[in-house]
A and B are shown apart, each in its own frame.
Chain A
Amino acid sequence: MRISDFIYEIKEGMAISFQAIRANKMRSVLTTLGIVIGIVSVTLMGTAIEGLSRGFNDSISKLGADVLYVQKWPWFAGGDWWKYRNRKDIKMAEYKAIDRQAALIQAATPASGTIRTVKYQDNSSSGVFIIGSNEKYLEIGGSSMDIGRFFSQAEADGGRPVCVIGSEIATNLFPHTSPLGKNLKVGNFTFRVVGVMAKQGSFLGMFSLDNRVVIPMQAFLQRFGTRHGIEIDVKAKDIKQLDDTKEELRGILRKVRHVAPGAEDDFAINQQEMFIQTFNAIGLVVAGIGLFITALSLFVGSIGIMNIMFVSVTERTKEIGIRKAIGARRGTILLQFLIEAASLSLIGGLIGIIISYPLSLLLNQILPTSMPISVVAISIVISLIVGVISGFLPANRASKMDPVDALRYE
């Protein structure tokens, strides 16, 4: 068969299936119900996964992908809790060593945190994160200032009683006035507000990144000094050299902490990749469940189409006979009914996409997402494939009909 013949037959098949579907509108739409549900489930699942991962990436990028966290505890280790518990705390000495010696880092800051109630006049806010850091905090954390300024290196080194507040604190404690220059009570100590950071939102929707007060590390250690040591946040110069940077830090830390050669590290260098790996594992489970539901509804939809195609073939036995008598080959008839089944399924797919679009907007209320175009494309391809598969048996039956018997059929 020549290509041009094939194109005529496809065109003819499309015209026939269009007529046939139009002649049985109600039946056709009902038939596609299973596919509609399947495609709605495909698109929503795709949108949800997209939303989860986008939300996660947004949150993770607030931390910065090129930041390493030197801590006592690894983020995702499990296992021997006591081993980590008994490690030596990380102290300012380690920070100073890193700051002085590391060549591959752009910036490093010591960091420590606690939770206190914060007050200004009659307004107060409890459960606020109080973070001790230095002037590199902004650079490393990837945040920016809304008004005012961040505290300077001199203020940081001198442990001055100044603070920078998150946007949520600013709105809660200073609803009517500018917070700049005001004296804030953090626990029992007074800090002068020098700046307000830009709004950052929440981490995975769980806790607010704007409900915080950042103060110089020295001031933090003097006033809230904990027994638990600190962490060191390090921003690499080049994200491509993250592994090298990590190695460099390891070397410095092992020396400062006097780790014997061959002994295991007694600290952890955490990075976001660990978060991402854990998250991907969760995403995989969600996708698996979604895939199962989707496959089930598409299977039901496929049976519906197969059923109605058998009806359609039987109804049109005479027509098949006529077409065969005037020269339609088996392949021609097969193609005609395959196209019809695929068209039915495609209609179901399009209806499904139309239904899921507003639902995805609803989903957007919970997750930062929109229906990705790739999911739309995949849905269309899936419905075409389902149509062809479910149409095959009926189409095959039609193509193998004996023309004499088919012509005699009333």
Chain B
Amino acid sequence: MNVINIKNISKTYVMGTEEVHALQNVSLQIERGEYVAIMGPSGSGKSTLMNIVGCLDTPTTGLYEFNGVNVSDMNDNELAKIRNKEIGFVFQTFNLIPRSNALHNVELPLIYGGVPATERRRLAEEALQHVQLADRMHHKPNELSGGQRQRVAVARALVTKPSIILADEPTGNLDTKTGDEIMALFEELYNQGNTIILVTHEESVAEHAHRIIRIRDGAVERDEVIKKDGAVKTAASL
């Protein structure tokens, strides 16, 4: 079953008097349990695509179905609910709330989702244990290393048991070793059945995924499935 079903979406921005076509007639489907990388150079439209996939933004035209529900015409609050329940974000700059400790950062989506306090605390602790940060729960972001911060962010993304985890350059601000650790964590999450969408411009990061969608000039350039042994097959020929 498709978690994400995008049909002919376009996104046009008006910059002054000029219209910028960030995305043009993009279509793609992502199934539950897939590990997909969206790749493209800067300016390719991949960030716009990620914002739409992540329900942070809506397409100008076209259809976007999330779990079979049309989200292209939803209002702000409806989108907020989808983001809260169905999407776990991991950002390049971690984007933790600086004044709150790790536990509270992980609890936050549950607070917005209306989960009762004791349940919330249990789920958040579980998620932090999952990313091996049980001993850092009461530390604030500035008391944690970059890798630890990103793991808090992953815990925050996982805690609501979302339909997809959407990671935007998750290793961009990390050194190679820590970056590898985070990628290993994603691999583990994928093996546990999570659907992961990775947005990156780095080939080495994208290679961790099992399918790579390449974006260029606002359109899908190539959509290929990488077999575990490294062989490449285009999606069309599957």
Taking Cβ atoms with an 8 Å cutoff, the residues of A that contact B are: 1-2, 4-5, 8-9, 12, 19-20, 23, 318-319, 321-332, 402-404, 407
Contacts and interface: CB of A to CB of B under 8 A. Distances in A.
B112 A326 contact: yes
B83 interface: yes
B213 to A, nearest CB: 20
B113 interface: yes
B16 interface: no
B142 to A, nearest CB: 13
B74 interface: no
B108 A326 contact: yes
Contacts of B116: 4
Contacts of A403: 56-57
B99 A326 contact: no
22 contacts: A2-B114, A4-B114, A4-B116, A5-B114, A8-B111, A19-B100, A321-B95, A323-B97, A323-B108, A324-B56, A324-B80, A326-B83, A326-B108, A326-B156, A327-B80, A327-B83, A327-B84, A327-B85, A328-B80, A403-B56, A403-B57, A407-B95
A84 to B, nearest CB: 75
Nearest to B81: A327
B76 interface: yes
B56 A330 contact: no
B89 A325 contact: yes
Contacts, number: 69
Contacts of A332: 112
If over half of A's interface residues share one DSSP class (helix, strand or loop), that class is named, otherwise mixed; here it is helix
Given A12-B111, A324-B83, A325-B56, 17 more contacts: A2-B114, A5-B114, A8-B114, A9-B111, A9-B112, A19-B100, A20-B99, A318-B95, A323-B108, A323-B112, A325-B54, A327-B83, A329-B76, A329-B112, A332-B112, A402-B57, A407-B56
Given A326-B84, A327-B80, A327-B81, A19 B109 contact: no
B56 A327 contact: no
Contacts of A404: 51, 56-57
Contact of B83 (A5, A8, A325): A325
Interface string B83-111: 11100010100011111100000001101
A330 B77 contact: yes
B113 A327 contact: yes
Contact of A329 (B51, B80, B97, B108): B80
A8 B156 CA distance: 18
Given A403-B56, A404-B51, A407-B56, A326 B114 contact: no
A217 B89 CA distance: 98
Nearest to A324: B80
